[in-house]
Chains A and B, each alone.
Chain A
Amino acid sequence: MTSLYDEVQTPTDGVPTRRVTMTVNGEKRTVDVEPRLLLAHLLRQGMQLTGTHVGCDTTSCGACTVLFDGRPVKSCTMLAVQADGHDVETVEGMSSASELHPVQEGFKQEHGLQCGYCTPGMMLTSKALLERNPDPSEDDIRWALSGNLCRCTGYQNIVKSVLWAAEKMRAERGEDA
């Protein structure tokens, strides 16, 4: 079975591609893409970074959220060519080989996921929130995550997970000492 990605990326005579260079999870990547290729599909099929999930495909659910120059964007609603010269972070870039990011740890500790489909988007939006606001209230968190839909958890444990991560990150910086 050929995927949409194959269909779009298989060179056809006369279809121009563009060479773009972007930083993905800290690594410089240069790729040739057809302009209509979506960023979500470049990440998933072109770079095998399948942690970025495509949910609604209509800019509603936030499952495909990645960090674009540090701010959350819906990667199903951006062209891959638009990432030229920019910095993209996916869920694969959150942890190191030996250590989870505090947000990931929080989701584990507080059971912030059930099926896991929305989780990468939830965690990246949360990470961006905590970088701008290290001590968010429950309302701040609910507000920041209002563009990410979850159909399992009822959000309660997701909010707890982010609060857990915020506390851990503050403790690591010695702020709660």
Chain B
Amino acid sequence: MYPNRFDYESPTTVEEAIAILDRSGGEAKVLSGGQSLIPMLKLRFAAPATIVDINNIPGLDYHHVDDEGNLHIGALCRHVDLEESTTLADTHPTLAAAAELVADPIVRTRGTFVGSVCHADPQGDWAATMLAQGGYVVAQGPNGRRRIDMGDFVLGPFVTALAYNEMAVEAVIPGASGTPRGSYLKLERRVGDFATASVAVSLDMDGDVIRKAGCALAGVGGRTIDANDAISCLVGKTLTEDSIDQASDAVAAVAEPRTDHRGSDAYKRHIVQTFVKRILTNLARTEQKAA
């Protein structure tokens, strides 16, 4: 299978990339890891006039935590960089748990975090982790940078709030003010398949009391499901059998699964409930051991 013809540009600075996007008038597409875009080009679901390959722009492959605990992920940070990170599990455990579940190991050597978020697939893993943790995208255009909260970033399947002349230069995921706890669970038929259902849970703990709770779901709706309100019933509480049951029921209630070849809607909702319960129960056990 072959993509349509396109003009290929390989800028070496972000400014140059933005100038090309600006000139293209909306007919250009940014290529980072290409693990979603190239298949879409080959299937001709996408046929941009110009491809702006950002892989030759130096200095975008970083991920680091700043003084305030916020994690910054550059546009060329690959999934494997996060998977192999030795510090991520301490500062952002939800992301660390998701890192090894994104696609398959070979795709992870090439695909990027920011590219995956910009692809805006309703089944994307990273979008769910971003939403559960109040993450945002930093977009740069001809007039400078702006911050787009994850909740506002995706307008629909494969559509984002980025203007045609803007490039997502980094993603930022706030850190916890207390102890960060969280995880990500995903049910897939085989490695690399789209999620049947997946759940991201992120907690900010003060001792054994939950200060903040975040949750988002993938694979169980036409978009990444924001379950932050649903899981907020945990705030101010400790992880007990009752609070865990209440939270997993509340989160399962906001899922919007549809019956398809991966399972019935009732099955997928059950998976969501089970995953929330499993994540929280495991975290409660860890807390008990630590105490």
Contacts and interface: CB of A to CB of B under 8 A. Distances in A.
A143 B105 contact: yes
A144 B83 CA distance: 13
Contacts of A16: 7
A30 interface: no
A47 interface: no
A78 B8 contact: no
Contacts of B7: 16, 35
Interface in B102-139: 103-107, 109-110
B158 interface: no
Contacts of B109: 68, 71-73
A77 B5 CA distance: 16
Given A18-B8, A35-B8, A71-B80, A77 B104 contact: no
A84 B10 CA distance: 11
Contacts of A35: 6-8, 51
A81 to B, nearest CB: 6
A64 B4 CA distance: 21
Contacts, number: 86
Contact of B2 (A36, A78, A146): A36
A36 B4 contact: yes
Contact of B107 (A34, A36, A74): A74
Interface stretch (B19-27, B35-43, B279-287): B35-43
A74 B6 contact: no
A60 B42 CA distance: 14
A147 B191 contact: yes
Interface in A55-87: 57-60, 62, 65, 68, 71-74, 77-79, 81-82, 84
Interface of A: 4, 7-8, 15-16, 18, 34-36, 38, 57-60, 62, 65, 68, 71-74, 77-79, 81-82, 84, 125, 143-148
16 contacts: A4-B2, A8-B2, A36-B4, A58-B43, A59-B107, A62-B104, A65-B106, A72-B106, A77-B34, A78-B38, A81-B53, A125-B106, A144-B105, A146-B191, A147-B103, A147-B192
